[in-house]
Structure 1
Amino acid sequence: MQDNWITVANIADLAEDDVTGVEVNGLDIALYHTEDGIFASANLCSHGNARLSDGFLEDGEIECPLHQGRFCIKTGKALCSPLTEGVPVYPVRIEGEQVLLNLSAS
């Protein structure tokens, strides 16, 4: 698999302890800025038509704003009902102040 790292944001543009939605190559991506680092997943809930960047981020989990299901931001795993399916996650690399994603590695 080819390494396709794409710059998607500057760290300074991401609020700490929060989630930010960005569009990258036609994909809706959620970026999570936590004390453990920056993580990325698909921004659309696997259960309903809701953007995770409109949800609530706490303790490494993002809560969907529509049905209150939660996903692990590191693995994309669905953690509770009504969710039955996880969301794709993407590798993140930091270079200086830039946040890069590898979209081909999901």
Structure 2
Amino acid sequence: MTATRVCSLSELEQDTPKRVVVKKVPIAVVLDSNGEVHAIGDTCTHGDISLAEGFVEGDSLECWAHGSAFSLRTGHPLNLPAYEPVPVYAVQIDGDDVLIDPNVTKEV
């Protein structure tokens, strides 16, 4: 499979998640305060809630509904009630384009 363009870097606001769907896979894309782009599964593993509606704090994305935070680097939950990780996808930057392949998860 090949990576798909999901947005441009200029469309991303720092520490503001953006929900994208690639080949029917919902993904939360985050430009962190260090300028790094992350892509994690957009569905909280505790409840069927979009993580892109949550809050970025440091290197984590917190679900607005019950407060579980997930590492942007590993996808692992950092607190309860979630205990299952979300997938983390490799991100490619090509010029101003952000590309993600939902079939390729990042090794953590």
Q: Name the TM-score, length of structure 1 as normaliser.
A: 0.93
Match of 2:51 in 1: 52
Once the two structures are aligned, what percentage of the paired residues are identical? 32
Aligned length: 104
Q: CA offsets, 1:19-61, max 9 Å, x none? A: 1111111111100111330000110000101100110101011
Deviation at 1:17, TM superposition (A): 1.8
Alignment gaps of 5+ in structure 1: none
Deviation at 1:5, TM superposition (A): 1.3
RMSD (CA atoms): 1.0
Match of 1:82 in 2: 81
Say yes or no: does 1:62 pair with 2:61: yes
Conserved in 2, the CA contact under 8 Å of 1:4 and 1:103?
no
After superposing on structure 2, the runs of 4+ consecutive aligned residues of structure 1 that deviate more than 3 Å are none
Output the CA distance in 1 between the equivalents of 2:14 and 2:60: 14
Match of 1:42 in 2: 41
Q: Name the TM-score, length of structure 2 as normaliser.
A: 0.91
Output the CA distance in 2 between the equivalents of 1:49 and 1:85: 13
Aligned letter for 2:29? Answer: L
Deviation at 1:96, TM superposition (A): 0.2
Match of 1:32 in 2: 30
